[in-house]
Amino acid sequence: MSLKILGTGRGLPEQIIENKRFTEFLDTSDEWIVARTGIHERRICRTESATDLAVAAAEKAMNAAGVAPAELDMILCSTIGGDYVTPSLACCVAERIGATCPSVDLNAGCVGFLYSLNTAAAFFDSGRAERILIIGLERMSAWMDWSRRSICVLFGDGAGACVVGKGDALKYLHLGVEGDPAPLNRPLSIGNNPFTDRQPVEEVLHMDGRKVFKFATRVLEAEIARTFEQTGLTAEDIDWFLVHQANGRIIDHVQHKLGQPEEKFPKNVCRYGNTSSASIPILMDELVENGDMKPGQTLFLGAFGAGLTYGSAVLKWT
């Protein structure tokens, strides 16, 4: 698999919503939210569009990589929804940054960033591309029913991006799906179609938290075991476990199962909430910016999401 990361970036809304803000309209408390999720605050768009966040992340990643828009061979945006159903978010980003390369969205829920890495690697292996911009963008606030405390307190808005090029840093990647939409989904309305017997639905996110929690812990453990079996690596060989930032309790569960130091499982879910497919690239960019990521270090990436999808990857940081 021919891939290496050339530069990273992130784009976040300015507005910070602390847990206490939810007590103004929900029967909840800061203690209730923190105990169940580890989340203290999240970013929610006030004036920013989905494209604004995606472009901010993209430009930071391109600057870090030293790659101009004209040098991109493709833009891949992982998202459950940009500013439009069509055109794609990727096309909106291309227009804003002045790129003319093929641009397309990919929807694999919270695992979308890993699916995008897999797609990019395939284009490199086939000789169809040299430089690809990957963006994970989610504006989750647009899909919430803000009267449901079990869901709306979990999510935040944000974008993470990276420019990838040919290389040998991607050592392993596995993706899968269990194909069950019931535990986590956002339906589309039928509009005002007079020729259907289907009933209109609310276009908001639905989630069975207990089922998703059980699925997440199960598949993360299985993906880590599969990774070690396929690569010959052990938990001690991994410098950073970059796990999808859905819930602090899920990350803690996996850390305790592996018996590894807490420091190897960085978390920003406490500050951003669940940003879906943006969470891993946002976390990665923070580690890079802080100088924590060192050349030669080994990264495990693991995620789970709507689909139900799951996946894992191993990267050598270069």
Residue 107 known to be catalytic:
no
Which of the residues 91, 110, 152, 162 is marked catalytic? Answer: 110
Q: What is the mean pLDDT of residues 255-264?
A: 96
Task: Provide the mean pLDDT of the chain.
Answer: 96
- The pLDDT score that the predictor gives to residue 70 is 98
The yes-or-no verdict on residue 231 having pLDDT over 70 is yes
The yes-or-no verdict on residue 244 having pLDDT over 90 is yes
Residue 162 known to be catalytic:
no
Q: What is the mean pLDDT of residues 1-15?
A: 94
- The pLDDT score that the predictor gives to residue 1 is 57
Which of the residues 19, 118, 247, 274 is marked catalytic? Answer: 274
The yes-or-no verdict on residue 143 having pLDDT over 80 is yes
The yes-or-no verdict on residue 188 having pLDDT over 90 is no
The yes-or-no verdict on residue 289 having pLDDT over 70 is yes
Which of the residues 40, 45, 118, 244 is marked catalytic? Answer: 244
> What is the C-alpha separation between 207 and 183, in angstroms, rounded?
5
- The pLDDT score that the predictor gives to residue 13 is 98
> What is the C-alpha separation between 184 and 289, in angstroms, rounded?
33
Please give the model's pTM, rounded to 2 decimal places. Answer: 0.96
The yes-or-no verdict on residue 316 having pLDDT over 80 is yes
Per-residue pLDDT tens digits for 23-41: 999 999 999 999 999 999 9
Q: From 3.40.640.10, 3.40.50.1170, 3.40.47.10, 3.40.50.2000, which CATH number describes the 4-167 domain?
A: 3.40.47.10
- The pLDDT score that the predictor gives to residue 262 is 96
Q: What is the mean pLDDT of residues 262-274?
A: 97
Say which CATH class 172-316 falls into: alpha beta
Q: Do domains 4-167 and 172-316 have the same CATH topology?
A: yes
Going from N- to C-terminal start, the domains of the chain cover 4-167, 172-316
In this structure, what token pair is assigned to residue 315? 């990267």
In the chain, pLDDT over 70 holds for what percent of residues?
Answer: 100
Per-residue pLDDT tens digits for 52-70: 999 999 999 999 999 999 9
Per-residue pLDDT tens digits for 150-176: 899 999 999 999 999 999 999 999 999
- The pLDDT score that the predictor gives to residue 200 is 82
Residue 110 known to be catalytic:
yes
